Amino acid sequence: MKFRVGIVLVVTAALGSSCATKTVAPLVSGTAPAANSPANAVRRFEWAFDHEDAAMVRDLLTDDFLFIAASTDSAGNPSRIPHDRSWFSLALAAMMDSSTSVSLLLDRNLIAFPDTRPGREPRFHKQIRSSMDLKIRIDFENTLEVTGNALFFLTRGDSAAIPRELRARGARPDSTTWWLDRFEDETLGAAGAPADTNPSRGLGLRWLLEYFYSRIAH
């Protein structure tokens, strides 16, 4: 429990009173990539972060999407704690609403490999691992940084579990579209407490999202 308190203190200090209002930073020009390949689906994810578009991220996620981060239980044993599509979408929206700008930097070259999970057909399921540098600017004086790796699992549209609300908006099984069905957080700090020497740089993405989600869950 001690590390959770540390996270709250670090993030609360950075947020301060600046959360009361949100000044939207100028958006980077350009058009969001179409999710017409595994790599482009991840690029669309990256673009949506940079443009603070939580709705675009949500619309990339399959109905059975899971966000998973490595962690340890109270006895120090490795564990993996999943969060579903709804939780991830709400946590991400809360984080973006509390920031003045968000910047996500992934690898320049994103290479898709066959999904290594059991029972996955390589034609329909791919995975991409990338380094990840995420900066969340709270105000002019405070920026939180998350670094490490991210592992994306993607499913082709004619095999993906399409969410009901997106079906209602016209989304259909489509072999030319790729969906994100799993995101594994491998950022520094994901498996434990923030670094004591510089806590704001030691936060894992999971801890950060859980903090912002807790602000809207009560």
Pairing of strands 78-84, 178-187: unpaired
pTM confidence score = 0.80
Distance of alpha carbon 152 from alpha carbon 115, whole angstroms? 10
pLDDT digit string, tens, across residues 161-215: 999 999 999 999 999 999 999 999 998 754 443 433 344 445 789 989 999 999 8
Q: Which spans in the chain are helix H?
A: 2-15, 38-50, 54-58, 85-97, 164-168, 199-202, 205-216
Which domains can be identified in the chain, with CATH numbers? 33-216 (3.10.450.50)
Say if CB 207 and CB 189 are below 8 A apart.
yes
pLDDT digit string, tens, across residues 110-127: 999 999 999 999 999 999
pLDDT digit string, tens, across residues 139-148: 877 889 999 9
